[in-house]
Amino acid sequence: MAETKQAGPGWSRRKVLKGLGVGGLAAGATIGSSVNNFAIGQSQRTVRIWTTQSAPDQVKIYRDMISEFEAKNPRIKIALELVSNDDIYPKLAAAHAAGQPPEICSNTNTAVPGALYGNKLLEPLNDVAKEIDFTPESLAAFNDGGEQFAFGAALTVITTMWVRTDLLAAEGLSVPKHWDEYTAAIKAMTKNGVYGTALPYGKGAFANRIMDMFIRQAGGDIVAPDMSVVFDNPGTHRALEFLKEIRPYSPPGANNYSFGETLNAFVTGASAIGIYSGRTLVNIWAQNPGLKDKVKAAFYAYPRDGQRYWCSGYDAYFINKGSRVNVDEAKEFTRFHYSPGPYTKFVHGAVGHNLPVVKSVAASPIYQDHPILKAHQADIDTMMAIASEAHINIKPTARHPFIYKMGDIYGSNVMAEVLQRVVVNGETPKAAAAWGQDRIAQIMKG
């Protein structure tokens, strides 16, 4: 940061965006929608929240929480905005460029606060952290040398492997632990309109995640602990080879799949093995209850000679830095959000998907008294077990430092594009990995 000069006084963020408008950019829409604080009056202040959690039940719970908060704090107005997981990073970038970021972002990929923190665009939350009994793991995940730049919104084990026990049993198979068993299982189960699996091959956030996981399971790495780019390595090649080999056992449209499509394929019964968080359970209960007793959570298969590696852990919650950000009000809402009553409702909104990061809530009988949690205790336990071993992408292993640029790497979809180059374009894993290596190196440099 020292070698580049900061934008001068005549060089406002708005100006920059307006200038780019000549090229016909669409991103400006986000900026236009921002709420102007001054319009509301001096006594009242607005806190904008962007969340990726847009299921109707969750939105309703959020709105109830907001009403309750606003009743207690008439001075503060909360504006909730729904943003898709695939879009939130570019939209936040645009919002920061315009100098109008939302106060709070909730349930983003961990890479997002990583990238923002790397650019010094997040408020430290150490004071709030002290007041809430967060699990130590969830605090550690977003603590850089003492600075608490984000919280876990919830524990969300997105790379949980979901299997159809009935279909496995029909083939006389058990839950696959390793890639070879997994491949055999999905081959066997691809029939009668059902696909063995449904992996997100689309050029989006989910494909980045599975690439990240498969590469590391195969012994590869992306950015080494010494911060050198090592994407083009045998582990990456092997992961690509594997993903290409099993492509026929995902639905034909999987090249466009991201979160929603992947989840739907499993919930509707179109795929026998799914990959998603505990939301799988919520959706099955709501949309396809016939599958309730036929699904099971498991550790995602990994190579017999490879690494036990699973991604994720946490969805992030953070407060943006900015001259117009109402930090105190945002923190006030944050305290409220994580207090036992509201936070229990919040995690109940997508039970099993959002696992609590507040110790007292996790242990409370009120939280545990939920039909889905009771019926699927074993699956919840499995997810907790995965989480205890899983890593967040900005700190891929204990040996790695925080890699803030991971947000840019994820945001640029380089890994998803490498995957598509191999699967769609038929490039060799080596060629595609070399291209990816080059792109990631550029991102790390820029």
Partner 1 sequence: MKVATDLESRDRRLGILLLLPAVVLFALLILYPFGNSLWLSFNRINTMTLASSFTGLSNYREVLSSPEFWQSLVTTMVWTVGSLVLQVGLGVAVALMLHQNLWFRSLARGLILFPYLLPMVVAVLVWKWLFNDLYGVINHLLMSAGIIAMPVDWLGSMPNAMIAIILIGGWKYFPFVVLAVLARLQTIPEQLYEAARVDGASAFARFFDITLPQLRNVLAIIVLLRAIWDFKEFDLIYMMTGGGPVSSTETLPLLVYKQAFPLMQMGKAAATAMLMMAVMSLFMVVYFRARRRFEDA
Residues that bind partner 1 (CB under 8 A): 1, 4-7, 11, 13, 15-16, 18-27, 86, 89-94, 96-97, 115-116, 119-121, 201-204, 251-257, 265, 268, 270, 408, 411-413, 417, 420-421, 424-425, 443, 446
CB-based burial label for 268 (10 Å; 0-12, 13-18, 19+): middle
C-beta of 253: minimal distance to partner 1 in Å?
A: 3
CA distance 126 to 129: 5
Q: In this complex, which beta carbon is closest to partner 1, that of residue 1 or of residue 398?
A: 1
Q: In this complex, which beta carbon is closest to partner 1, that of residue 84 or of residue 364?
A: 84
Place of tokens 């709105």: 63
C-beta of 194: minimal distance to partner 1 in Å?
A: 10
C-beta of 402: minimal distance to partner 1 in Å?
A: 17
Q: In what order do the strands lie in the sheet with 104-108?
A: 76-82, 45-51, 104-108, 313-319, 151-156
Q: In this complex, which beta carbon is closest to partner 1, that of residue 343 or of residue 404?
A: 404
Look at residue 73 and give its three-state secondary structure: coil
C-beta of 12: minimal distance to partner 1 in Å?
A: 9
C-beta of 364: minimal distance to partner 1 in Å?
A: 39
- Using alpha carbons, select from 219, 193, 109, 114 the residue that is nearest to residue 156: 109
| Structure-block tokens of residue 305 | 């000679």
CA distance 369 to 362: 11
C-beta of 260: minimal distance to partner 1 in Å?
A: 11
| Structure-block tokens of residue 250 | 């995902």
Q: In this complex, which beta carbon is closest to partner 1, that of residue 84 or of residue 368?
A: 84
CA distance 348 to 58: 8
| CA terminus-to-terminus distance, the chain | 11
C-beta of 424: minimal distance to partner 1 in Å?
A: 4
CA distance 4 to 142: 27
Q: In this complex, which beta carbon is closest to partner 1, that of residue 90 or of residue 234?
A: 90
Look at residue 305 and give its three-state secondary structure: coil
Q: In this complex, which beta carbon is closest to partner 1, that of residue 128 or of residue 267?
A: 267
C-beta of 268: minimal distance to partner 1 in Å?
A: 8
Element (DSSP H or E) covering residue 414: helix 414-423
Q: In this complex, which beta carbon is closest to partner 1, that of residue 3 or of residue 226?
A: 3
Q: How many CB atoms lie within 10 A of CB 7?
A: 12
Q: In this complex, which beta carbon is closest to partner 1, that of residue 194 or of residue 327?
A: 194
